[in-house]
Amino acid sequence: MEFPATLFPSYFSVGPPQDEGGPAPAAGWGELGQVLEAGPDHHQAETMFVPRRGRTGESWEPADAAAVPFLPPNASCWIPSLLPQDILYRSFLRRKLQTSKYGPTLDFTKQLSHFFVDHPEDAFGSLGKLLHKNFHLGDSGVKVSGFRDSTIRMTALMEEINRLDARRGCPQEHLASRLRWFSHLSRDWLFEVPLGLLADCVHEELLLQWAGLLFNDSPTGGALAWLPPEDAGTRTGRLVYPGGQAMNHLYFQDVVLEELPCTQGFPAEFELNGRIRQVAAARLDGEDFIGVRSDYHCGVWSVPGRTGAAPTPLQVIRTSMPASCLTVSPHLPGELAICTQSGSIYLWNVKTGLQRLRHDPQTMFFRDHSPWRWSGFTAHPRVLSCADRTGLECLDARAPERCHFNLFKVGEEAGCQQGERVVLPMYLGRAHPSQHLVTTQFSVYVVDERLPLVPVLKWMHMMKSPPLFAHLMPGDPGRSHKLLLGASRTQEMLLLQYEGKNWGGMSACQLVGPPQKLHSIASCLQHLPAQLPHHHHLLQKRLSTPAAGLAATLQKDGSQESLLVFQLSEAGDVFYQRLTHEAAQPPAPALRDETMAALGSSPLFEDPASSPQGLEEEEEEEEEEEQTFYFEAAALRYRHWLKALSRRCREPPRHSCPPTFGQKRLFTRKELQTPAGPSTLHSQARQQMQQAMREGGRIQHWDLPDAQAPLIPQPPEPVEGPDPLSTRLTASWSGDWSLWWEQRSSFSRAQRQRALRERRQRQKRARGRRSLSASFTSSLTYQSELSELSDAGPPPLSPVVPQEGSLARGSPPPSPAPDEALLSSQTLRSRGIPKERRKTLRDYLGVYAEGPPEPPEFLGSQASQLCIPSSQSQLSSASQTRRKHPRMGF
């Protein structure tokens, strides 16, 4: 427990933070901070200096191009996470209001109406039954004269409501008098629950949801834990993670660390009573203790160190307020610290029970509204650290009232910025017994208990969302400690290295090496084979769910060291990536990395046979072989994962009725907007198109392995003669436009017949061919028909242009989804079809596309994306409303 003989110079002042900063994009670069003399003896001839930041660190290179799935996709009928547009008021007033300082405009009427539609019995059951006879729902007028006085016709009212809905967002929107009259009349008595009360509750819940959307601190600490092997000789560790539909199953999975980490046997499974928010673990006397936190329950398990020993649950406690923290003591077996949102901190010993150390609903150093609290352990087993958003304090469990000191304060002491708040504290005991990590939304700090308030290390981490997870891998003497930071919403992960030991003694803490970004789960999307657009969308959504935890382990294989990082997503998927340590720094890997990134190609799906062999030297060949083996294995895992995912998603949800499609409104506002940014696929397609235009060649040059490639059907011949628009204009100019139209329509009829005939022939021809060309043919014919209908705009392009190298041989390449591309408003608009005519066209196409209805392939929430946009009327779009209520707490 030596204290460094000299510390880096720094100013010290007290008080609230002066620096009015904000998220600064490059704040973490370029600074060395301070310097300190390096040698223990400064009477030497030359004095050497070391910087606080920026010394060369160890080099860890990613072994693969993306994160690889580790476990099969979580078996959840996965509920998509809440999006801002789900609860924000969706009108063009929104833009104006959102920028104002009154905060977001929550669309709480929508939520209320969802409730009324989804739960009519609960909303107005009894009065509905009473008034049943007085409401007439038929189209005809009320006939029987006896009832005329006491019956009102609701159909007109319904129409009025529908019309209102269609006009949503219109500035001239005003309530129809009939509606106003009805609501005025019935507002006070119609509802089962008083409307004001209900509205208050809904509004409160919406505000909570919105706050959670902006920053959700419930997964703080992370729900993934790695239990390392008992000794370095055995290679079986254990991964503890949540899963299941509601993430309420706890799994203990044995993992063998080979070339690739593999699961061994079936995981031990426990079903819990709530969604698992956090899993914390510590090893003590050869036994692992695992604390599990859900909102109202905390439990502790123990796993004996032997491989294959079964985990045993030890104790569970229930809290009346949601718990916000659970940490396991690294000093005493069966001891944990718990915090609840009411501001209480407990020391929990499995043998002696709970001891409340503090109860204070107020924050420590200044007032902050967040009820979040955290607690951890320190170098002294009886001293606990407790934290809120304003700082950290240490208190002695034996006399919590008297003995405490401030460890970290958001203020000038630590050089904080205004608005900076503590996000995650962590005890770094495995690297140094008296050091703690504190992360805020802007910076990371390392603080030492022996020098409170003055951070021994500070660095602006530049992460886009605050780091909620951290994992420490202590380095051996002379090596750096590795620190992983993980953010939830953006899935960012950073690898930092720091050192605190040099020349045989303690030295001041230094950050070494540049920070390094690791792959996020979502980044693997670009390396996957191209998918059907809706599959792609689904996959994208699944892969970019917020992260829920991270864990890592150092693995030594002879001289080769590697770092294995696991990342858990909120959907319950576990991905991993490997980094290898390079003792000396050959420039080759960096280069490879750069070219790879520049080309955007994916080594994951590269055919090993197609990689250029001639250039390689023998020495490299071996390595290459190993690499390709690795890539192949990773690619295989991807395929399995994708297959399992699509299988799980395909299981049809049992709808009582098929989804209905309305034609009243063709496009929602959202669809008419231009997409935010073109995807890589788009840009590639565009690039290829431009190239084709330059060269005057064709766009579709399929790299088919067999020589039958030229058999691909020819693109439709362009319409001969002058362009139809000019003929039409000329005709109308000269006055015989009607004649032209007649000619034109008969011509087009003939043409359509010809096209049909051609298609039949082509189908005959293609029957023997592979499924690829078949799908291509059908989509092509479809397009050729459209090109006539749309008054001959430019011939439509196939929306999917195959990427080179991204197609795995043997697997069928993706076929474009024709209807989507055709009916999308953009396509129509790009053809210059005026808005009012698009409906006609759509109707026409709708008739045209009529066939046997396809069975719904996806979950309810996705069905609406698959089909033609349905009417926004809440009565018909049941799938959208259904998705809401579990999270609204109804």
Per CB under 8 A, contacts with another protein among 402-431 are 413, 429
Q: Specify the residue, 418 or 663, whose C-beta has the smaller distance to another protein.
A: 418
Site residues for another protein, window 534-593 (CB under 8 A)?
A: 587, 590, 593
Distance, in Å, from the CA atom of 373 to the CA atom of 383, rounded to the nearest integer, reads: 17
Q: Specify the residue, 32 or 354, whose C-beta has the smaller distance to another protein.
A: 32
CA distances in angstroms from 659 to 120, 263, 521, listed in the order given: 20, 41, 33
Distance from chain centroid for Cα 685: 26
Asked whether position 599 contacts another protein by CB under 8 A, the answer is no
Asked whether position 6 contacts another protein by CB under 8 A, the answer is yes
Of 113, 135, 102, give the one whose Cα is nearest residue 210.
102
Q: Contact at 8 Å (CB) between 360 and 332?
A: no
Residue type, 151: T
Asked whether position 50 contacts another protein by CB under 8 A, the answer is yes
* Least separation in angstroms between CB 429 and another protein: 6
Q: Contact at 8 Å (CB) between 347 and 400?
A: no
Q: Specify the residue, 30 or 146, whose C-beta has the smaller distance to another protein.
A: 30
Q: Specify the residue, 412 or 632, whose C-beta has the smaller distance to another protein.
A: 412
758: helix, strand or coil:
helix
Q: Specify the residue, 477 or 587, whose C-beta has the smaller distance to another protein.
A: 587
Asked whether position 447 contacts another protein by CB under 8 A, the answer is no
Distance, in Å, from the CA atom of 258 to the CA atom of 578, rounded to the nearest integer, reads: 12
* Least separation in angstroms between CB 530 and another protein: 23
Distance, in Å, from the CA atom of 663 to the CA atom of 846, rounded to the nearest integer, reads: 9
Asked whether position 24 contacts another protein by CB under 8 A, the answer is yes
Of 139-147, 230-238, 256-264, 448-456, the window that binds another protein (rule: CB under 8 A) is: 448-456
Q: Which of 16, 31, 771, 832 binds another protein (CB under 8 A)?
A: 31
Task: Find all residues with CB under 8 Å of 488, minimum gap 6, and list them.
Answer: 216, 219, 465, 468, 469, 546, 547, 548, 570
Number of residues binding to another protein, judged by CB under 8 A: 73
Site residues for another protein, window 668-697 (CB under 8 A)?
A: none
Distance, in Å, from the CA atom of 579 to the CA atom of 557, rounded to the nearest integer, reads: 13
Of 516, 634, 515, 521, give the one whose Cα is nearest residue 567.
521
CA distances in angstroms from 176 to 182, 653, 859, 873, listed in the order given: 10, 39, 37, 18
* Least separation in angstroms between CB 826 and another protein: 21
Which residue bears the tokens 């189908």? Answer: 763
Q: Specify the residue, 27 or 213, whose C-beta has the smaller distance to another protein.
A: 27
* Least separation in angstroms between CB 52 and another protein: 9
* Least separation in angstroms between CB 101 and another protein: 18
Which residue bears the tokens 């959670």? Answer: 212
Calculated CA dihedral for residues 16, 22, 25, 28, nearest 10 degrees: 0
Start-to-end CA distance of the chain, whole Å, equals 55
Task: Find all residues with CB under 8 Å of 739, minimum gap 6, and list them.
Answer: 731
Asked whether position 45 contacts another protein by CB under 8 A, the answer is yes
Asked whether position 15 contacts another protein by CB under 8 A, the answer is no
Q: Specify the residue, 49 or 741, whose C-beta has the smaller distance to another protein.
A: 49
Asked whether position 638 contacts another protein by CB under 8 A, the answer is no
Tokens read off for 420: 């900076």
DSSP string, 809-858: TTSPPP---HHHHHHSHHHHHHTT--HHHHHHHHHHHHHHT-SSPPPP-S
Residue type, 359: H
Q: Which of 9, 39, 103, 196 binds another protein (CB under 8 A)?
A: 9
Q: Specify the residue, 433 or 856, whose C-beta has the smaller distance to another protein.
A: 433
Task: Find all residues with CB under 8 Å of 231, minimum gap 6, and list them.
Answer: none
Asked whether position 503 contacts another protein by CB under 8 A, the answer is no
Q: Quick one: residue 852, left, alpha or beta (phi over 0 = left, psi -120 to 50 = alpha)?
A: beta
* Least separation in angstroms between CB 16 and another protein: 15
Q: Specify the residue, 211 or 596, whose C-beta has the smaller distance to another protein.
A: 596
Site residues for another protein, window 313-332 (CB under 8 A)?
A: 330-332
* Least separation in angstroms between CB 572 and another protein: 27
Alpha helix (H) ranges present in 736-801?
Answer: 737-766, 771-789
Distance, in Å, from the CA atom of 167 to the CA atom of 173, rounded to the nearest integer, reads: 7
Asked whether position 7 contacts another protein by CB under 8 A, the answer is yes
Asked whether position 433 contacts another protein by CB under 8 A, the answer is yes
Q: Which of 584, 598, 615, 676 binds another protein (CB under 8 A)?
A: 598
Of 212-220, 373-381, 565-573, 728-736, the window that binds another protein (rule: CB under 8 A) is: 373-381
* Least separation in angstroms between CB 24 and another protein: 4
* Least separation in angstroms between CB 21 and another protein: 5
Of 28-36, 560-568, 621-629, 880-888, the window that binds another protein (rule: CB under 8 A) is: 28-36
Q: Specify the residue, 382 or 885, whose C-beta has the smaller distance to another protein.
A: 382
278 forms beta bridges with 293
Residue type, 50: V
* Least separation in angstroms between CB 221 and another protein: 21
Q: Specify the residue, 580 or 668, whose C-beta has the smaller distance to another protein.
A: 580
Residue 494, CA atoms < 13 Å, CB-side half-sphere? 24
Q: Specify the residue, 206 or 281, whose C-beta has the smaller distance to another protein.
A: 281
Burial bucket for residue 377 (CB in 10 Å: 0-12, 13-18, 19+)? buried
Q: Specify the residue, 44 or 708, whose C-beta has the smaller distance to another protein.
A: 44
Asked whether position 625 contacts another protein by CB under 8 A, the answer is no
Asked whether position 27 contacts another protein by CB under 8 A, the answer is yes
Q: Specify the residue, 11 or 733, whose C-beta has the smaller distance to another protein.
A: 11
Which residue bears the tokens 């190239």? Answer: 691
Of 447-455, 619-627, 652-660, 871-879, the window that binds another protein (rule: CB under 8 A) is: 447-455
Distance, in Å, from the CA atom of 389 to the CA atom of 377, rounded to the nearest integer, reads: 18
Q: Which of 128, 274, 313, 514 binds another protein (CB under 8 A)?
A: 514
The secondary structure of residue 530, as a DSSP letter, is P
Relative to beta strand 35-37, strand 49-51 is: antiparallel
Q: Specify the residue, 294 or 516, whose C-beta has the smaller distance to another protein.
A: 516
Site residues for another protein, window 329-358 (CB under 8 A)?
A: 330-333
Asked whether position 43 contacts another protein by CB under 8 A, the answer is yes
Q: Which of 16, 39, 40, 49 binds another protein (CB under 8 A)?
A: 49
Q: Specify the residue, 239 or 447, whose C-beta has the smaller distance to another protein.
A: 447
Site residues for another protein, window 282-311 (CB under 8 A)?
A: 285-286
For residue 622, the tally of other CB atoms under 10 A from its CB is 10
Q: Which of 597, 689, 711, 750 binds another protein (CB under 8 A)?
A: 597
Q: Specify the residue, 406 or 815, whose C-beta has the smaller distance to another protein.
A: 406
Alpha helix (H) ranges present in 187-306?
Answer: 195-214
Asked whether position 452 contacts another protein by CB under 8 A, the answer is yes
Site residues for another protein, window 56-115 (CB under 8 A)?
A: none
Asked whether position 474 contacts another protein by CB under 8 A, the answer is no
Q: Contact at 8 Å (CB) between 773 and 495?
A: no
Site residues for another protein, window 157-186 (CB under 8 A)?
A: none
Asked whether position 36 contacts another protein by CB under 8 A, the answer is yes
Q: Which of 94, 119, 382, 885 binds another protein (CB under 8 A)?
A: 382
Q: Specify the residue, 396 or 788, whose C-beta has the smaller distance to another protein.
A: 396
Backbone angles phi, psi at 421, to 5 degrees: -135, 150
